Chain A
Amino acid sequence: MHKYNEHYVPEDIAGKLGESFLRNPLTAVLGVVILALGWIALSTMPREEDPQIAISGGGVIVAMPGATPREVENIISTPLEAKLREINGVEHIYSTSKDNVGIVQVMYHIGEDREDSNLKLYDKVIQNMDKMPKGVMQPIIKTFDIDIDVPIITLAFYQTDPSKLSIAEFNEKLRTLKYDIAGIENVAKVTLHGAHKEQYNVKIDVDKLTGYHVSLGMVMMAIKKFTAKAPLIKGETNSGKIVMFGVDSAVNGIEAIKNIQVSVYRGDPLYLKKIATVEKGIDEQNYKEVEFFNKVDEGNSSSKIGEYTPQVTLAASKLAGTNAVVVANNILELIESKKEELEKLGIGYKVTRNYGERANQAVEELMHHLFITIVIISIMLVFALGWRESLIVTFSVPAILAITLFIAYISGQTMNRITLFAFLLSLGLLVDAAIIVIENIHRHLHLTKAETQEMGELLVEATDEVGAPTNVATLAIIMTMVPMAFVGGMMGAFMKPIPYNVPVALLASLFVAYIFTPYLSLKLLKKPKSTDPYDAEHNPYDICGVCLNDSDEKEEDSKKEEK
């Protein structure tokens, strides 16, 4: 009745792709390569919790000792604001005028290039240096950098046994540790919060000051006099040789400071120790302290510390575009290797922030989520279409994600909260193309003409048939996602990964559906050997499990037996 051996000519890109890859031995290789690339991207892609938003801005701090806020406002803030307003790309300018100091902050539009913005700010300030009012100190320009300034890891260090180290020694130890960490690859900025410095504290008793008839100024001068350090002096011998010599600092150690002579009182030298207490301690004028409260586990007595223990927080940030997980782990490894040494010195520590771990958890959670979803969908498909068909769709999900991930990786994106959101969003959409193609193949296989049609041709035809509407529909979905790329401001920058990744995932889903679904169908699916076109049981349109492959097979088996 019909000539089924007549070659089917695909019209749509779907059929064409399907045809050219159908019997190509490289298709399998391509599949493996795609999965491998995806795996590489997954394991090496920088992970971080929040997406990077290019916030550019900076502040100019101008000090003017003795000026009131109103004076600062008139002389510093307002003229400076007006000047900075001239910079292209500035969104808002804020200023605070306080006693003695004016601070002007510049916020650029989101997405302005950071280096350019910083240069423009410096340029503007330096250009107008000649217009600076008199009595004003050199302006300080501070630009900010979100990647470098937001630490990815913080550690609280505290003394479990204060008798082992003095506070100064404890701080000194942490300072060494800080430089060790700064040396780790991709670590950007390491800071210590609540750290104290060693210092000689000279505390003067006013009563004695008056008693010995000395003024505070004299004491200050006396200390300055004896602590001056001069460079080496070059001398020459008569034979032309150079001799180097120099005056050593007169003050070496605490005893020397105590014995600095301030003045002469009734013929006797008046030493510093007579009017003041001198001690080697910490910079107690620095009120920027940090305290730690750690809930102690019952039974773990080694970490027992007081309720509000002084601590020093070490915070480290990473360079832009690097993997938070790797950097955080490297830092922790280094500290772990020094744990024993620290314990001996009576120093305990606790990780109080680890964005690396959080980013990792988020990614792992997604992987877990994806895995469960794929399992659920494939089980559903086993019932609806058959296990072979289900297997084919199940393969397509990791393949699509692999392509998307790899493209995200090479386009310099990082794996963060919002990228994951984009993947979750596309998850429901990804399998659609594959399901539509496989369903149509399944339907064609159960048509009467399937008996005589060559398998490959049938697959190509089935793919081609749904190609055009699927293409248009996918294009339509892509078009709904693309507008998000044009949302401005902070929110726009924040959700950029969605318009970047969802369309890629959808396009990938089309290609995977057109290339791999027919290919795998050829390998896995078989034409039902005998189908009775009028058998209601074989109604191929029923989704309710009537057309289960298993039942097909059973019936086939029974038919065989009959034969």
Chain B
Amino acid sequence: MKKIEDFVYWILESRFRKNMVIGLTILAFFASLLMFPTGAVLARMLPGKNATTFSIYLDTPTGSSIKETKRVAHCIGDVLKNEKDIVDMSFFYGQGIPLDYAGLAKGSVMKQAENEAEISVNLTPTHEREEPSFLMVSRLRPIVNEQCANVVPGTSIKFIEQPSGPPTLAQIVVEVTGKNLKQIRELSHEVADILKNTKDLVDVDILSDEVYETYKLVPDIQKIADESLSVEQVNNILYLAFQGMVVATKNSKNKLTQIPIYLVLNRKSKELEGDGVESLKAKIEGLNLMNRRGEQTPLTELVKIVKVKSNPTITHKDLKRMINVIAETDNVSQVYPLLDARSKMMEHFKEKYKVETAPISTYMFDLILTDKKTGERFLIRWDGEMKVTLDTFRDLGAAFIAALVLIFFLLVIYYKSFAISGIILGGSFLSLIGVIIGHWVADLVTTNTFFLTATSLIGFIALMGISSRNSLLLIDYTMGLIHYDDMEKKRAIAKASATRATPIFLTAVAIILGSALLASDPIFGGLGVALISGTVAAVFVSLLFVPVLMSNTAAICKPETIEAQKAQEARKKEKAKKASSNTDDEKETKKEDKK
């Protein structure tokens, strides 16, 4: 302990050494901040979660049959069944898997078409498996896509992981908004192409229907009227024939449900031989309608078959026409690919449109496109996890600044000095050095990228409190020594540093040991590393940097106020007694000798 005291005193003695400490600290602070722009430390909202399950959403092109969807699903199943860590899979056709946390924001419940399917995949328990689920997904994604996406051309296969944070539609959501339906469809395809060609972006999908061919049966109104039939009858008969209809039900005493009687054409009669006007006509030929006079009229006489394009679904958000393009990131932060894709888009759209960027807000990545020919305006808006992140950081940042101000006032009330409060607050901010360097080291040591995440930030916030506690105890003790024991300032600071070193070390070791187990957790790892490395930095800051600042400030040796001094007169007596009996301090020993 004596060593620490002497060392601190040694630093405090010389102005040069003091400036060295301050200089080095500031250097370290900016050097660590530089790790962000240089990419030595990568930031990400929340890391991947090592779960025991993931799901696969697959969409064959709009208008595909359940058979085609099944074929793709079985292809995926065949690829996945060789994975040793996959325990079982459930294939849900024409519906979503039983709702889970991920599916909440992804519209899983709304699925009901034949071209939609979801697969729920269960894995072996986390502690029995070497590969975390997020790495497994990232490894399987290209394999599955390569083998199965072309079973039915135009199929989109998306791997959905359990989110470690709140569920969002997707990590990257681009909303293409505008009035002109055709043009926003085109734009959305261009956006999707850019996203597909951006590194680290996967599972790109346009959330709109594909246009496919349909046949329109145009009713011949005159003929229908002549036969005293109705269009509705024509409709019904076609529906009954090809899709079938429950025409009656039969209640049952010993069954929980009614038994319906379902009427449909048999397979041979309804299955078309290829798609084309002729084959459809051939099938309709056998269907007759009976008019009031009891005469049979063949359906083919009443309608004319025309080939048309299907009408794609129109989606709105907040009353504006909008098409969503979504993408997931392949186990990296969404910020970097987003910026990459955005600059590519600005380049790409420059030819046809006037590109403007949005002002600073949580929608600051938006692009406003104005068509050079027509003057029509389109908006390319970035939503999804990025928006959530920005909103969170905005709120958290604002609230955090408010908290800092509050803490500052709390300290000013306690110490009645701006300088001392400033030292404590400033000192506590420096644990950031440790947090950043800790992440850099963790990234070097681990094989996967170790991200600075929201949990690291929360760890940093907690650290600010911890290191301000260290500084507080230190300053309090120093003040005690100066005020009540009339100790010389530098000696008092040095002695206080030495005395307070014990609890500072002990609490630091407690935090480090307490967080050591956390560091290996995929989600809370950031918190663990932040606490461990930040605490180490905080110890150095508390024992070296803060003493230097303390010796530089005039506030430490100034008696606070006369009233305060008077009020503490009684306490001073006590302290003086105690301090005079203090055993190991040479100064006091001397004092005692004098007495």
Contact = CB atoms under 8 A, between A and B. Distances in A.
A439 B506 contact: yes
B260 A197 contact: yes
Interface string A81-113: 110010000001111111100010000000000
Nearest to B387: A489
Interface stretch (B150-158, B371-379, B578-586): B578-586
A432 B399 contact: no
Contact of A372 (B246, B248, B517): B517
Residue of A193, A213, A475, A483 contacting most chain B CB atoms (<10 Å): A483
B313 A97 contact: yes
A8 interface: yes
B414 A285 contact: no
A425 to B, nearest CB: 6
A352 B104 contact: no
Interface string A171-213: 0100110010000000000010110011111111111011001
A470 B473 contact: yes
A150 B312 contact: no
Interface in B162-181: 165-168
Interface string B485-501: 00000000000001101
Contact of A96 (B93, B120, B288, B315): B315
Interface stretch (B11-19, B139-147, B186-194, B266-274): B266-274
Interface in A311-366: 311, 313, 315, 350, 352-353, 358
A543 to B, nearest CB: 5
Interface in A155-179: 156, 172, 175-176, 179
B370 interface: no
A53 B399 CA distance: 21
Given A150-B104, A541-B499, A447 B388 contact: no
Contact of A94 (B122, B168, B316, B388): B316
Contacts of A443: 499, 502
Interface in B76-113: 77, 81, 86-95, 97-101, 104, 109-110, 112
B90 A204 contact: no
A502 B403 CA distance: 15
B392 to A, nearest CB: 4
Contact of A219 (B97, B263, B296): B263
Contacts of A137: none
B396 A287 contact: no
Contact of B109 (A149, A291, A295, A308): A149
A484 B396 contact: yes
A488 B391 contact: yes
Contact of B243 (A285, A292, A307): A285
A498 interface: yes
Contact of A487 (B262, B311, B395, B505): B395
B31 interface: no
Interface stretch (A17-25, A30-38, A374-382, A550-558): A374-382
Given A81-B319, A224-B248, A229-B251, A215 B290 contact: yes
A487 B53 CA distance: 30
B472 A220 contact: no
B311 A99 contact: yes
B468 interface: yes
Interface stretch (B339-347, B404-412, B433-441, B445-453): B404-412
A477 B581 contact: no
A223 interface: yes
A542 B99 contact: no
Interface string B457-471: 011011011101100
Contacts of A156: 88, 90
B527 A96 contact: no
Given A199-B261, A479-B403, A481-B461, A172 B517 contact: no
A194 B92 CA distance: 8
A218 to B, nearest CB: 6
B33 interface: no
Q: Which interface class (under 10, 10 to 19, 20 to 34, 35 or more) fits A? A: 35 or more
Contact of A439 (B459, B502, B578): B502
A117 interface: no
Given A193-B95, A223-B263, A428-B531, A480 B464 contact: yes
Contact of B268 (A205, A448, A469): A205
B277 interface: no
Contacts of A291: 73, 90-91, 93
Contact of B250 (A227, A350, A380): A227
Interface stretch (A66-74, A233-241, A401-409): A66-74
Contacts of A486: 395, 399
Contact of B290 (A95, A217, A448, A481): A217
Interface string B323-357: 00000000000000000000000000000000000
B317 A92 contact: yes
B35 interface: no
Residue of B104, B249, B475 contacting most chain A CB atoms (<10 Å): B104
A95 B315 contact: yes
B311 A227 contact: no
Contacts of A82: 319
A277 B266 contact: yes
A358 to B, nearest CB: 7
Given A69-B314, A149-B99, A435-B506, A204 B269 contact: yes
A483 B399 contact: yes
Contacts of A119: none
Given A377-B513, A483-B403, 18 more contacts: A49-B101, A53-B166, A69-B314, A73-B316, A198-B257, A199-B261, A200-B250, A200-B260, A249-B250, A350-B88, A428-B462, A443-B499, A472-B410, A479-B403, A479-B406, A480-B461, A491-B392, A541-B498
11 contacts: A85-B318, A95-B316, A200-B259, A376-B513, A432-B507, A449-B577, A472-B410, A482-B403, A490-B166, A492-B395, A493-B166
Interface of B: 1-2, 52-53, 66, 73-74, 77, 81, 86-95, 97-101, 104, 109-110, 112, 114, 120, 122, 165-168, 233, 236-237, 240-241, 243-251, 255-257, 259-269, 283, 286-290, 296, 311-319, 388-389, 391-392, 395-396, 399-400, 402-403, 406-407, 410-411, 414, 454-455, 458-459, 461-462, 464-466, 468-469, 472-473, 475-476, 498-499, 501-503, 505-507, 509-511, 513-518, 524, 527, 531, 535, 571, 574, 577-578, 581-584
Closest 7 CB pairs of A and B: A477-B465, A483-B399, A473-B469, A428-B511, A206-B286, A315-B98, A203-B266
